A and B are shown apart, each in its own frame.
Chain A
């Protein structure tokens, strides 16, 4: 059974940093591209970034490019999202999502909550 478990969400002050982790199991993690998506009550689902299976290709949406960095450790079956220079508008529930490789996003984690406030 595919499982994705995010962690690392917390309350952080504006301008602060946070690293999210996503532990994967139930599939060959090193074979799949992975993504981060966030959700807020006001903006719904917002796609953020992707990383291919071997981390050689990474992409970001404009709103986080230069502040967020996606990475992965295939030896640990773990996906990461390093978030710097956090803003109040970055407050959201952050999901890691698997890409099945041919049809797009399929399995989602349960999410980890990030709050940005002073």
Chain B
């Protein structure tokens, strides 16, 4: 199975400051159809996960533009340009290129 490794696992951030989460996969995430299936999910406290980013860098509808995704191959990053209070929660990367699909361990973002 593809192992997804996130870092850091805990990320204290000052309001208004940027935040960056790394996600590394144990093998490349390019599917046979040519797409790279790396998605990011946000799980706020007490809520279900919500998709933020699909296929590395595409923001879902309604996702603020302070969220951005980038990367290729086995290294991917989720960035928040200026953290707001509503961004507190756990962020997960997930690969859908190889069966079985797998998630990272999650990165907990909290306000300092």
A residues apposed to B, CB below 8 Å: 44-47, 59, 61-62, 95, 103-111
Contacts and interface: CB of A to CB of B under 8 A. Distances in A.
A45 B37 contact: no
A21 B63 CA distance: 29
Given A45-B106, A104-B94, A111 B48 contact: yes
Interface of A is mostly: strand
Contacts of A111: 48
B92 A106 contact: no
B43 to A, nearest CB: 8
Interface stretch (B17-25, B53-61, B71-79, B81-89): B53-61
Interface residues on B, range: 20 to 34
Question: Which 3 A-B pairs rank lowest in CB-CB distance, beginning with the nearest?
Answer: A103-B54, A108-B48, A104-B96
Given A103-B55, A105-B39, A108-B49, A44 B99 contact: no
Interface in B89-104: 92, 94, 96, 99-104
Nearest to A60: B100
Interface of B is mostly: loop
Nearest to A95: B48
B66 interface: no
Nearest to A50: B101
Nearest to B48: A108
A61 B103 CA distance: 13
Given A103-B54, A104-B96, A45 B103 contact: yes
Nearest to A100: B54
Contact of A105 (B55, B58, B96, B99): B96
A46 B99 CA distance: 13
Contact of B58 (A45, A47, A103): A103
B50 A47 contact: no
Contacts of B7: none
13 contacts: A44-B104, A45-B49, A47-B102, A47-B103, A62-B100, A95-B49, A103-B39, A104-B94, A105-B39, A106-B54, A106-B60, A108-B48, A108-B49
